Amino acid sequence: MDGVALRKRIGYEEFDYQMLVDALREYARPRDKITTLLRKGVVVRVKKGLYVFGEDYRRQPVSREILANLMYGPSYVSLEYALHYHGLTPERVETLTSVTCGRARSFATPIGSFSYKQIPTKAFQTGMDRVELDDGRSFLIATRGKALADKLVADRGANIRSQKELRDYLLDNLRVDPIGLRELDPACIADIAKRYRSRKVKMLGEVVGHLRRECGKN
């Protein structure tokens, strides 16, 4: 089976080992065929059990967000990558960052770098959205407020003791968009703060509340 034939059996760019074996079901030794497909660049192994099509056989760009969800779980995209994805910060992030309630991990792959930050289970269980793609697939990503809260907790080197210091950190260090910042929901952030038991996240909700009042928002 060549790459064109395999593409007719696998509709997505990202697929797992079982999908690949099912597509090669007529072969007596599918593992040997997979080795050949890998050598020819028809498929690329992202990590054990997870694959994408090689560049010459792709119909559309690979979704790194879907790969991040599949690569290590339970997890969802958050932190720096999600902040940029939502337009809260300007810098493009090369490493795709996620949060997990499992152990912290990192992976260097042919598709790029992926990192996973461990957070408490209660904090993990809130503040995620499902993004639906045009082909019917989806991935999980933190909401804007949750991504910012995750980043604030993860950045333990930020010695923040007052709302002014927090505002300076958000606007100057992280370069958070001020309009996007005041559009966050203080009540949701307060709930995240309770789950994290974080003084800094609680302060974040207070800062957002003050910004909203300054521009006349309730």
Q: Is the pLDDT of residue 30 over 80?
A: yes
| Whether 205 contacts 190, CB under 8 Å | yes
pLDDT value for 218:
58
Find the mean pLDDT for residues 75-82: 98
Q: What is the mean pLDDT of the chain?
A: 94
Delimit the domains of the chain by residue range.
3-57, 64-214
pLDDT value for 83:
98
Does the domain formed by 3-57 have CATH 1.10.40?
no
Q: Is the pLDDT of residue 10 over 70?
A: yes
What digits encode the pLDDT tens for the residues 129-140? 999 998 888 999
Better pLDDT: 159 or 117: 117
Band of residue 144 on the pLDDT scale cut at 50, 70, 90: very high
Percent of the chain with pLDDT over 70: 98
pLDDT value for 157:
67
Q: Is the pLDDT of residue 215 over 80?
A: no
pLDDT value for 216:
65
pLDDT value for 210:
87
Q: What is the DSSP letter of 15?
A: E
Q: Is the pLDDT of residue 142 over 80?
A: yes
Least confident of 52-56, 64-68, 114-118, 152-156: 152-156
Percent of the chain as helix, strand, coil, to the nearest 5: 45, 20, 35
Show Cβ contacts of residue 118 under 8 Å, excluding neighbours closer than 6 positions.
99, 100, 101, 102, 103, 104
Alpha-carbon distance 175 to 144, whole Å? 14
What digits encode the pLDDT tens for the residues 158-199? 788 899 999 999 999 999 999 999 999 999 999 999 999 999
pLDDT value for 3:
85
| Whether 117 contacts 150, CB under 8 Å | yes
Band of residue 207 on the pLDDT scale cut at 50, 70, 90: very high
